[in-house]
A and B are shown apart, each in its own frame.
Chain A
Amino acid sequence: EVQLVESGGGLVKPGGSLRLSCAASGFTFSTYSITWVRQSPGGGLEWVSSTSSTSDYIYYADSVKGRFTISRDYAKNSLYLQMNSLRAEDTAIYFCAGGDYGDYLRLDYWGQGALVTVSS
Chain B
Amino acid sequence: SSELTQDPAVSVALGQTVRITCQGDSLRNYFASWYQQKPGQAPLLVMYSQDTRPSGIPDRFSGSRSGNTASLTITGTQAEDEADYYCNSRDISGNHNWVFGGGTKLTVL
Interface readout for B91-103 with A: 1 if CB under 8 Å, 0 if not? 0000011111111
How many angstroms between the C-alpha atoms of A97 and B45 in the bound complex? 11
B9: Cβ under 8 A from any A Cβ: no
Once the chains bind, are A99 and B45 in contact (CB under 8 Å)? yes
Assess whether B88 is in contact with A104, with CB atoms less than 8 Å apart: yes
| In the complex with contacts A44-B102, A110-B43, A111-B42, A104-B31 CB distance below 8 A | yes
Knowing A50-B96, A113-B42, say if A44 contacts B31 (CB, 8 Å): no
Q: How many residues of A contact B (CB 8 A)?
A: 24
User: Which DSSP category, helix, strand, loop or mixed, fits chain A's interface?
Assistant: strand
> In residues 8-67 of chain A, which contact B (Cβ within 8 Å)?
37, 44-47, 50, 57, 59, 61-62
Partner of B33, one of A46, A50, A62, A106: A106
B32 at interface, CB cutoff 8 A: yes
Rounded to whole angstroms, the CA-CA distance of A63 and B90 in the bound complex is 16
**Which chain A positions have C-beta within 8 A of B100?**
37, 44-47
Q: Which residues of A contact B42 (CB under 8 A)?
A: 95, 97, 110-113
Contacts of A103 in B (CB 8 A): 30-32, 49, 89-90
Q: For B43, what are the chain A residues with a Cβ–Cβ distance below 8 Å?
A: 37, 45, 95, 97, 107, 110
Task: For the complex, give the distance between the alpha carbons of A54 and B90 in Å.
Answer: 21
Q: Which residue of B lies closest to A60 (CB)?
A: B97
Contact of B86 among A45, A97, A113 (CB under 8 A): A45
Shortest distance from the beta carbon of B75 to any chain A beta carbon, whole Å: 22
A44-B103, A95-B42 in contact; A106/B96 too (CB < 8 A)?
A: no
A107–B102 touching, CB < 8 Å: no
A37–B49 CA distance with the chains assembled, in angstroms:
19
Q: Give Cα A115 to B13, complex, Å.
A: 35
Hey, what's the 0/1 contact readout for B18-44 against A, CB within 8 Å counting as 1? 000000000000111101010000111
**B2 contacts chain A at the CB level, 8 A cutoff:** yes
Give the B-binding residues of A (Cβ under 8 A).
37, 44-47, 50, 57, 59, 61-62, 95, 97, 99, 101, 103-108, 110-113
